[in-house]
Structure 1
């Protein structure tokens, strides 16, 4: 059990971040044991050919049989807009003593492939991860990032509506918050406590954690949790076709309105509905202009959500 101890000020400064490097490192879990990540089987199928060309000798050295990865692959993101190139630059600057300690914490020793020069080992790791990013993530990252960003927006709405405590208790069945203590039930044996002490607790949504994860060592306070909304990520979504509503809005717009009970970007919706980006944007703008959707910019994405008027229209249709 990991317990983060928060003061009143710490509770008010809980933040969210998205880390592309965390996603790369944690994706090794799904590559190692696909059966444990059924929601990512679509990604695994689509990247099978590309993964056959990866430097798996290096990548395999970054994960053990418990599915642990070293903390240097799980940096605390400074914001939801963290850039992978910046994270790679920080990774290359990892001090030798930290590099070795993080590997020993996972494997009990420094794997032979990373023995010798730390700088050479880090360059090899970054090359392997960059290849993984370019071949297996870049084609799909917009839709994956849309899910992660939509999750952050959802959690922000929870805080606004019900408070930080309710949001924290809704992150995972393995996360509990009570009277200033965030308890995370991890697979590791033993208990440890860490006071936040004004350092901030960062919450990181990810596609590759089934319940909840945290750094192995006593690094910056951070919890990685499973992002919501992954279920339909790799499937085309059939358009709901309520006849009365579709007769007014059209099949696609009626389906989009039905789907937008949770925030989503035009990129994600285009994939789910099998519609081109330009077409889905046209539909979304029309629904927004009619007052049936609201939109908000989040980083590089615009997220859409059904408005109260849109919800009332759907409820009237189903009443």
Structure 2
């Protein structure tokens, strides 16, 4: 049954409130979205590209399949409190591996209770937490490389733009305006933050001090919370601008950029609107596979593309630097697009 959660704030709590961009808050919600039978329209292009890779790698039936159910509770140890404003995935995985065995078993007890039991892998994790956590984090790394790393420059731009917008909003209008604008289910009044449609109550007595606000492009349809005192509670909310995340960002013409990089290299960058392999890029452009490989190597050394292993293939993706170049040199492309409307 849904409840209205209410988190009271003191002056100290407001002083300890901060934002963070956390890779694991993209891992869990995005995996759940891929595993579900319901795909929001905004993420359909991403799902259509990534789901086949997930199945081919067997990640639809591994550790994450048991730890991240289609609905309900996800173990809190998968989302350690970010120590800084933008921890790397490696830092977050180190935090997961450092989770005390008692904490892991406590989370798995709750997962088993809500899901009607634990799967075989989750039971071995319960029996040997420290040894099995290594396997869990290895699978997370594989998932990241397949599903999120090729798109991270684009995702990160949306998350950073959201934090910039919220911080300016708080500076100009105060924390109340910031909270009331996060999501329709979130409201602020009488020194308390209220979250509608929650499955469990939330109070300052059961949470740590302060608040961590974490934008996520995959947090949908309502914000997610993590409450593990004495750490500050975490609120992962849908990032502003997610609605335009997968829209094409480069136009058909980029002559000015071609004059700098060359036509073939520029063509490859524009074709990398979605991550692709050397073979796929050769098929699309009519260039030879060896030529594409040579150009991609040059673009990678220049920091314009990244390479990500996907099974037997390597997927190439544009970096944020390449995205900025294409926006700057392509006529008619709107600047600051990642700061678009609400999802």
Q: TM-score, with normalisation over the residues of structure 2?
A: 0.68
Using the alignment, how far apart are the partners of 1:251 and 1:153 within structure 2?
32
2:9 counterpart residue number: 6
Change (3 A) 1:100 1:233: same
Match of 2:147 among 136, 148, 155: 136
CA apart distance, 1:12: 3.4
Q: Secondary structure at the match of 1:185?
A: strand
Deviation per CA, 1:259-301, whole angstroms, max 9, x where unpaired? Answer: xxxxxxxx9xx959xx9955843864999xxxx98x9xxxxxx
**Partners in 1 of 2:39 and 2:198 — Cα distance?**
15
- From 32, 35, 48, the equivalent of 2:35 is 32
Offset from partner CA, 1:83-106 (integer Å, 9 cap, x none): 110111111111111111112222
Kindly report which structure 2 residues correspond to 1:14-25, keeping only aligned pairs within 5 A, or say none.
Answer: 14-25=17-28
- Give 2:211's aligned residue: 201
Instruction: Give 5+ residue unaligned stretches, structure 1.
Output: 240-249, 253-266, 296-302, 306-319
Show the counterpart of 2:202.
192
User: 1:208 Cα deviation (Å)?
Assistant: 1.7
| In the alignment, structure 1 residue 106 sits paired with structure 2 residue 106 | no
Would you say 1:93 and 2:98 are equivalent positions? yes
1:232 alignment partner in structure 2: 244
Q: Which residue of 2 aligns with 1:221?
A: 233
Which residues in structure 2 correspond to 1:1-319 (within 5 Å)?
A: 1-52=4-55, 53-55=57-59, 56-108=61-113, 109-115=117-123, 116-189=127-200, 191-195=201-205, 199-210=209-220, 211-215=222-226, 218=229, 220-237=232-249, 271=273, 278=322, 280-281=324-325, 284=328
Residues 197, 206 of structure 1: CA spacing in aligned structure 2 closer, same or farther, 3 A cutoff?
A: closer
Counterpart-to-counterpart distance in 2, 1:214 and 1:107: 19
Between the two proteins, the alignment pairs up a number of residues equal to 268
What TM-score comes out, normalization by structure 1 length? Answer: 0.72
Task: Specify the alignment match of 1:258 in structure 2.
Answer: none
Does the 8 A contact of 1:10 with 1:200 survive in 2? yes
Distance 1:144 1:283 in 2: 16
Distance 2:153 2:52 in 1: 20
Q: What 5-or-longer segments of structure 2 have no aligned partner?
A: 257-268, 275-317
* Compared CA separation, residues 128 and 80, structure 1 to 2 (3 A): same
TM-aligned CA deviation for residue 200 of structure 1? 2.0
Distance 1:234 1:34, change over 3 A: farther
Q: C-alpha separation between the residues in 2 aligned to 1:179 and 1:213?
A: 23
8 Å contact from structure 2 (residues 223, 236) kept in 1: yes
The 1:194/1:76 distance shift into structure 2, 3 A limit, reads same
